[in-house]
Chain A
Amino acid sequence: MFSKENTISFPDKYWYSGDKKSILGETLFKDILFLDYRDSEAGSNPREYNGLKKSNIEIIKSLLKDPKNMFRFLHSGMIVSLTGLSFSSENTLKFKSCCLTNGNQTRFIILILALLKYYTSENLLENITAKSFHQFLKENLRDEKVISFLKFVKFGRVNEIVSFIKGEGKYQRCFNELKLEDFLTSKIRIQINVIDRILDAVDELDEYSAGTLIAGANNETQKVAIDDIFGSRYKRELKDNIFKEFENKYGESLKIEYRLGEIVEKGPKVHILTLLRPVVSTGILTKEKDIHKYANQRIPIYNLFIKLIKNREKAQETIQVISKLIPFLYQIRENYVLRYLRIQKEIIYRDIKEKALLEELGETSLRDKIRLINNNELTEESDKAIKKMTNYNIEHIFPVIVFRIRKILKYSKDGNEINLTIDEKNYDEFFKTIVNSIYKKYIDTKLVGTSGSITDEIRNKHFFTHGEEAYEAEKNHLNFKETNLIQESHFKSQ
């Protein structure tokens, strides 16, 4: 019943465009259930399934009300990019690779409904649990490719649909009356981009780039995160150049997430922005005076890297340094910054709690939120307010730390890595001082209260002066030297 066969059938007629670069027609639900949508040779769609948000609720309503007769006229259907296309029979085409460009939301809703209908052939929907659902699929599905694809179907999303069905009497009836066979043979409109033919007239694109370009452009008008568009479009360039050393160092032990939520397997992962953002703070891609403007804004960060990638031929040296910087900065973040931030947070929490108990919070933004019981105990809300005050966003603080260390970056002796001019055994002392100083200022800013948001504050040039005195003190104490590595490797073609 459920199989993934790289075929699309047209029960009725289909239409070829004059240049044979497009095919239009109607296909069956069962043929679109497992179409690849990311990281295939035919491209990568930046948009993941979003769950039952506004427009998706309309889709599920139409699907439940009348999948057979009305659904295909109410929603726009699918667009797919295919490579290696041929007709295996009069009405069935075969393909090598597919990228579902438009209609991924619809497809996932259809797939989940079909799986739920299948599940309820032996079980009650009311009693569904992640365990019972997965167990059922494991026992009943045979096609390895289907099983592999189902890793993209998270139970949280399935449960949303279950809740929707259970919560609406009308739709519960529709679901109960639905016949799986009828549902799977319902029709949906489909447009096919024949990538091989499209590329006949275009020299500078390969299949993946063309498919990704189409998917990206098609989704640009939708609410797709800029991160996902950037990560999908430049995945290859990032992997082969910018993240080359990071991949060498961590390999499969720490996966890079090019699009939020794309790695569904358990295990360590890191998003591209986490790796790219600190690089901007070194000033290797911008003018020194502009660092604070870029370091905390996603779109400008991506734009800087797009510029770098587009000029990669003449920016080889910059890219090489960045590629070595990324694993080093990540290691500093994980091994030192996060650890000292956690400790410092606890210290400041106790410090503020002491002031709160003694009613000595003065003119801080926290004062009015504190209430004492029996003059000796904070209310739960007061304690929460203090905890909230001591919370930090590492993405606010780490750029300033990188900014502080940008002048002491150097190549290791063998030239294979980048590290600091400080002896590694002194890293603990150095980062403890710098992190504590910057975090303290960060909390002081929050305590005083800001007219705008904390994000406005951290984009302020003044925020990047934090930790300066601590740095100078450590410089005198540890007697380290400054270097010109960043200036010498600066990306000049801006």
Chain B
Amino acid sequence: MELDDLKQTWKQSETNKNINTDIMNMIQHKTYGPIAALKKEFRKQIIVMCLLPMLLIFTNLDDIFKPLTSILFWAYVLLCAGIVVFAYFNYRIANRMSVMDESIKPNLEKQVNTLETRIQWKIIGLRIALIFLIMLTEIVPYIQHYSMLDKWHSLSPFIRFSSYAALLLFQYFVGRKVIYRKFGSHLAYLKDLIREMD
């Protein structure tokens, strides 16, 4: 069968729709695509990260000075703030990705570039966060005493720094895989589409 033979059939098949087209009702709904899911995830991240330090204060209300004078608490606040900024940045990227009125190929290329940049930044961000935590673990015991950290510092520097190195290596290989597992399939799909267009 030839494709040209089907043109008439295609036109005849316009007669039946079976689709509810209440436009006004439809535009009241929210979109449920992958970009909308990403945006929802970032919104959730921002809210949770803003609430977590407050929750910590709330659970220590009987001795409010304990968290407020703790370096670890403020480091935690700093980390949460960093994640909030990062999530906001990601949210804006997702917003840019949700533009759908461009030609198909340039739009796909833009989405791939944006997603790859986002993944790169996420990997870098996670590495920075890990280095920050390692530095904190090493420096804090010289300023404030925490039994857990004191115990850690009683170990030889060789064991401690080997553990940090192992952690960084683990993050380098596994973290990348985890991130690609989450967003990689969508990225690979978009790349396939571009390949199909070449």
Q: Please determine whether chains A and B interact with each other in the same assembly.
A: no
Interface residues of B, Cβ cutoff 8 Å to A:
none
Interface residues of A, Cβ cutoff 8 Å to B:
none
